[in-house]
């Protein structure tokens, strides 16, 4: 492993910090789509950079990457199978009155914490 050419770690760190700044500032524009892209798109890019360069997945055996990807795929599978029941407030022949009641109650308690300031 020592014979391979090291990436410039400090440079990658600088890129990561730059991305962090963007991901914090982006949402301040208040545009939802920008928030989504800057927050989660950049998180994916950052994770990719760390995994590739710091964890050296780029020079690791392929099946390690496959194994880790399989884990992620199973998580998406879990999400896809579960979300139609858990994430939705209503579906085919069922509804969750509890979600509506909760959302109403929860948005009233917002001030609760800040009131102590």
Partner 1 sequence: MAETVPSHPPAPEEGHPHHEEMSFWSKYIFPLDHKMIGMQYLFTGIAMAMVGGFFAYTFRMQLAFPGIEVPGWGLVSPADYNALVTNHGAIMIFWVAMPVLIAAFGNFLIPLMIGCDDMVFPRINRLSYQIFFLSVLVLIASFLVEGGAFGGAWTAYPPLSAKAEYSLTPLGSSLWLLAVALEFVAFLLGGINFITTAMNSRAPGMKMYDIPIVVWMIVLASIMFMLSVGPLVAGAVMLFFDQQLGTGFFDPARGGDPVLWQHLFWFFGHPEVYVVLLPAMGIVAEIITVFARKKLFAYKTVLYTAFGTGILSFTVWAHHQFVAGIDPRMAHIFTITTLLISVPIAEMCFVYIATLYGGSIRLTTPMLWALAFIAEFLIGGVTGIFLGASGADIYFHDSYFVLAHFHYTFFPIAIIGFYAGITYWFPKMFGRMLDDRLGKIHFWGTIIPFNGIFLPLFILGLAGQHRRIYNYEHFPELATPELQALRVLATVSLLVMLGFQLVFLVNFVRSLRRGEKAPQNPWKANTLEWQAPSPPPHGNFATLPTVYRGPYEYSVPGRAEDYWPQNAPE
Partner 2 sequence: MSSRPIATTRSATEIPTGKLAVWWLLGSEIVIFGGLLASYIMYRLAHDAWHAQAAATNTWIGAFNTLVLLTSSLTAVLAHQAAEEGNGPKAAKLLWATIGGAATFLIVKAFEWTMEIRHGYTITADTFWSFYYTAAGLHAAHVLAGAVVMVFVARSAARNQELHRVELAGIYWHFVDIVWIFLFPLLYIAK
Partner 3 sequence: MIERLVASASSYAPDIDGLILLIAVLVGFWFLLTEAVFFWLILRFRARDGQRAEYITGEEKSQKRWITIPHLLVLVCDIFIVVGAVRVWYEVKQHLPEAQQTVRVIGQQWAWSFVHPGPDGRLDTADDIKTVDELHLQKDVTYHFELTSRDVLHSLSIPVFRLRQDAIPGRVIRGWFRPTKTGVHDFQCAEICGIGHGIMAARVIIETPDEHAAWMAEHAPTTSLAAAAVR
CA distance 50 to 56: 8
Cα angle value 40/42/45 (rounded, 5°): 115
Which own/partner contact pairs does 40-45 have at CB distance under 8 Å and 24+ positions apart?
45/19
Binding characters for partner 1, 54-83, by CB under 8 A (x = yes): ----------------xx--xx-xx--xx-
Partner whose binding site includes residue 81, from partner 3, partner 1, partner 2, none (CB under 5 to 8 Å by kind): partner 1
To the nearest whole angstrom, how small is the minimum distance from the Cβ of residue 31 to partner 3?
A: 34
The 71-110 contact track toward partner 3, x by CB under 8 A, reads ---------------------xxxxxxxx-----------
CB of 16 to partner 1, least distance (A): 27
Question: Across the strands, what pairs with 91?
Answer: 94
Q: Which is nearer to partner 3, 18 or 95 (CB)?
A: 95
Count CB atoms within 10 A of the CB of residue 92: 6
- Per the listing, tokens 């999400």 go with 79
Q: What is the dihedral of CA 77, 81, 84, 86, to 10 degrees?
A: -90
Query: Given the rule CB under 8 A, which residues bind partner 1?
Result: 70-71, 74-75, 77-78, 81-82, 84-86, 88, 91-94, 96, 98-99, 101-103, 106
């Amino acid at each position: 492993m020592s014979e391979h050419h090291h990436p410039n770690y400090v440079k990658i760190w600088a890129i990561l910090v730059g991305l962090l700044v963007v991901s914090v500032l982006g949402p301040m524009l208040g545009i939802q789509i920008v928030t989504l892209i800057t927050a989660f798109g950049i998180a994916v890019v950052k994770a990719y950079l760390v995994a590739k360069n710091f964890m050296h997945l780029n020079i690791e055996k392929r099946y390690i990457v496959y194994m880790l990807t399989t884990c992620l795929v199973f998580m998406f599978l879990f999400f896809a199978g579960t979300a139609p029941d858990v994430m939705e407030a209503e579906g085919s022949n069922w509804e969750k009155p509890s979600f509506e009641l909760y959302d109403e109650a929860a948005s009233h308690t917002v001030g609760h914490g800040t009131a102590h300031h």
